[in-house]
Structure 1
């Protein structure tokens, strides 16, 4: 009995240690999505970037990351998720070193693109590995809560860390700091992550499909991030946007006929998978507005510096941490994931509506800090939404569904950020032309972005009410062999 207890305890410790490795690796990837934001002025001054070229320090990473997630997820299914995760960590760490020693714009942009590739390789398979590690629903909920905290809080931590390192040392350190983390995480991954064989390349990798979706997503992300420069109605934006959608449509058509599809269309028969991905796109698009617009408001309207802006965002990371690590699993078990998603989205809606009335002569403690409680809604919603989305995935498709879930997050964030930033800038220009002060014009633009973000959250709430159901109800329908069409007509059931 004692020997059995020790064995079980050791296995439990190994699984939670493996989760810690996955979280550490993904945290490093998430941090790099925002850590450069507050360091961009220093990078521009040091390396001589043009204003338009400077945007590619961020865009090169986002294009590679968002475009390759789906392919990386499927390859993880084929060659083994452990291999894919470790390979991604190695690529990301090497790319971080190249970023840290960059002495010119070309090398930095190329290294950032390589970072995006490594980040996609690691992130795409992480959720699938967690699902495999924790088959018990209660333990899985706790694990996903911890993983969700890393993703949610990592962006805010990146703003703080970027500001502190840039002001205390120089911008090179925002990349160099990844080296010891990457080396340690890679070494621990070799030791703690269980090797999986994968389906094998002979199971088939749809190379043409991979080319279509990767090219389509990369082109879509590129079109979105460049739309502000060329204009949304320009031939450049409309033409490339149409081409990207055509490539994505061709990919979908091919998946319906391919012998070994990259993303089996059967995963979309689950309302959980389809609904969770659509809701996540709306939610993340709105939350990107919160993160970026609050940072811009603090710097350009209230006059905060880089480090002070980062620290002003700390309360949101703390709130997310308390919810996701301390309470989300128990709340999900008590009230059901669908209800928790609705409650979380409701908190986000209230927070964005509060920010939509922010004044040009505002104060942090009265006009910003109360909204820092809003991310509690994200801390509630994202673990529940991840659980719902992954509940529709089989063990065979977990990597592909995990890659899809990460892809919709990146594409939703890029689309939301590009659209809201463009509309915010246009509103500010209009107010300036009307004779408003610079602070009033900028604030008017930010308020518009917050208002539109609130509209996206409201749409997500409606979609949740209409589409999502509890995992228990979903499994009952599958067990009974009910068709997808019949399932789509069934009223959602609440725990």
Structure 2
């Protein structure tokens, strides 16, 4: 071969489209049992997401058993969220630096031990401490699990399918947690809502050791101590302040001081990432318009979803007088809808529609579902308003939010896969914490105002009125997300698009 030909060959190799190159790479032989490995990852993800809701249903029984006050009750949930959200960026960077399998196994072991301690807790202090430790190890586990998918599946079609399965499981696990929590609380004991995690963790550890491989990049990113401390403190302040707002109100110093401190620290953290030689979250990960829109979708969408979960749980038990297990069953239609729609979205819709269409349409539909739920009153049959509303919300979650999880990992350098997974999870956790905190204050104010104008004899009416206000605010979050993300997402963008495929439809591109 002549030197010119050699030069032309080198030039051609240098200009190969990375998307095309990845779509033609055969599945990694190192992961020939990759679908079984996905099953192991899903076990861990189910455990994390179940824990977010299974404990909520058990709280009244735990309170009666351990004898703690109403003021202490929210901290069983908040302690987990504080540790989880604050340490997620660190967990993602540790996965990139020391190996995703290593952090995956360490996270499972720690989560199992903390669950055992929490289940055996003799008092509220031990229970809250165990929940905080659970959150810390979940922060190691969650980004490692998500980033493992992107490095295991090297074929685009398989990656789409894997994310579809992952999204369906992620979108429905919270509702399954309500059902499982109701069953365990009603027929066994509230402590088994903690012990059940041990079974998931043991299965994940055995499968992980056998099927997963330690995936790290040759050029490993290094940890920055200043960025780590500043990032964790910023998220802690925001989540802690939001939690205090639910009990102390937004004007309380206990709320305002951590919120303002968290906001200032977050601003300092962003500035530091621009100059830090080893940033905890490289700016390019969140600066990309499509990924930024994906994270906003997760934040606003999860804020609306978790607010709906909370108020519907109270509505079922306090207004309709459902038992814990009947409450869980009432959420099943939404769970089934999420699974079906997520599967259809990742297997079919991503090939025909753009990311913008899928995301905006899903958020609009979720908002419509919340609006339908707002029509239910104390005497409404479940099938009249609640069921249609749940199904519509399920359609939205199964398309927009599930697709956003995949979009948040798209186009990320493999060395930053764990960090992107951490940002993905941070967006969801912050969205859930802030959404529940903010909307809860509006619900509380609406309930109090109703009682002031109608008298204390209409307690049920005031309660339902407050929930209706909450449903409308949730709808507003979904619709605001549709507008903002529709404006941010680049027209024509398709999730994990393969070279040579026809351009997908972007019928609403003219609106933005």
Give the TM-score taking structure 2 as reference length.
0.88
CA contact (8 A) 2:355 2:493 kept: no
Task: Give the Å deviation of 1:388.
Answer: 2.3
CA contact (8 A) 2:28 2:152 kept: no
1:464 aligned to which of 485, 500, 506:
485
Task: Give the Å deviation of 1:200.
Answer: 7.3
- Is 1:150–2:200 an aligned residue pair? no
Question: For 2:215, what is the secondary structure of its paired residue?
Answer: coil
Q: Deviations over 1:260-309 (max 9, x none)?
A: 11111122331112111112211111111221111111111111121111
Task: Give the Å deviation of 1:11.
Answer: 6.5
Distance, in Å, in 2 between the alignment partners of 1:492 and 1:187 is 48
Q: Deviations over 1:122-172 (max 9, x none)?
A: 102222111111232221111111111221111001111111101101111
Task: Give the Å deviation of 1:178.
Answer: 1.6
Distance, in Å, in 2 between the alignment partners of 1:260 and 1:25 is 29
The aligned residue for residue 314 of structure 1 is: 332
The aligned residue for residue 377 of structure 2 is: 359
1:88 aligned to which of 87, 107, 113:
107
Task: Give the Å deviation of 1:327.
Answer: 4.8
CA contact (8 A) 1:159 1:310 kept: yes
1:73-84 matches, cutoff 5 A: 73-84=92-103
Structure 1 gaps, min length 5:
1-6, 477-490
- Is 1:118–2:137 an aligned residue pair? yes
CA contact (8 A) 1:345 1:461 kept: yes
Query: Structure 1 residues 108, 471: CA separation in 2 closer, same or farther (over 3 Å shift)?
Result: farther
- Is 1:439–2:457 an aligned residue pair? no
* RMSD (CA atoms): 2.2
Q: Which runs of 4+ in 1 moved over 4 A?
A: 7-13, 198-201, 470-476, 491-494
CA contact (8 A) 1:64 1:114 kept: yes
The aligned residue for residue 405 of structure 1 is: 424
Question: For 2:278, what is the secondary structure of its paired residue?
Answer: coil
Distance, in Å, in 2 between the alignment partners of 1:456 and 1:475 is 27
Moved more, 405-414 or 219-228: 219-228
Distance, in Å, in 2 between the alignment partners of 1:384 and 1:474 is 8
- Is 1:65–2:93 an aligned residue pair? no
The aligned residue for residue 164 of structure 1 is: 183
Q: Deviations over 1:3-50 (max 9, x none)?
A: xxxx97987751111111111111001100100111111100111111
Distance, in Å, in 2 between the alignment partners of 1:43 and 1:103 is 11
The aligned residue for residue 480 of structure 1 is: none
Q: Deviations over 1:173-227 (max 9, x none)?
A: 11111212211111110110112244577x4211111011111111211110111
CA contact (8 A) 1:213 1:248 kept: yes
Moved more, 309-318 or 128-137: 128-137
CA contact (8 A) 2:300 2:477 kept: yes
Task: Give the Å deviation of 1:471.
Answer: 7.5
The aligned residue for residue 257 of structure 1 is: 275
CA contact (8 A) 1:320 1:376 kept: yes
CA contact (8 A) 1:78 1:200 kept: no
CA contact (8 A) 1:328 1:379 kept: no
CA contact (8 A) 1:18 1:189 kept: yes
Question: For 2:166, what is the secondary structure of its paired residue?
Answer: helix
Distance, in Å, in 2 between the alignment partners of 1:269 and 1:58 is 31
1:30-45 matches, cutoff 5 A: 30-45=49-64
Distance, in Å, in 2 between the alignment partners of 1:463 and 1:80 is 36
The aligned residue for residue 390 of structure 2 is: 372
Moved more, 214-223 or 408-417: 214-223
Question: For 2:33, what is the secondary structure of its paired residue?
Answer: helix
Distance, in Å, in 2 between the alignment partners of 1:273 and 1:64 is 25
2:319 aligned to which of 298, 301, 305:
301
- Is 1:329–2:350 an aligned residue pair? no
Moved more, 185-194 or 461-470: 461-470
Structure 2 gaps, min length 5:
1-25, 498-507
Task: Give the Å deviation of 1:362.
Answer: 1.5
CA contact (8 A) 2:92 2:419 kept: yes
Distance, in Å, in 2 between the alignment partners of 1:143 and 1:473 is 16
- Is 1:227–2:248 an aligned residue pair? no
Q: Deviations over 1:49-68 (max 9, x none)?
A: 11111111111111111111
Give the TM-score taking structure 1 as reference length.
0.91
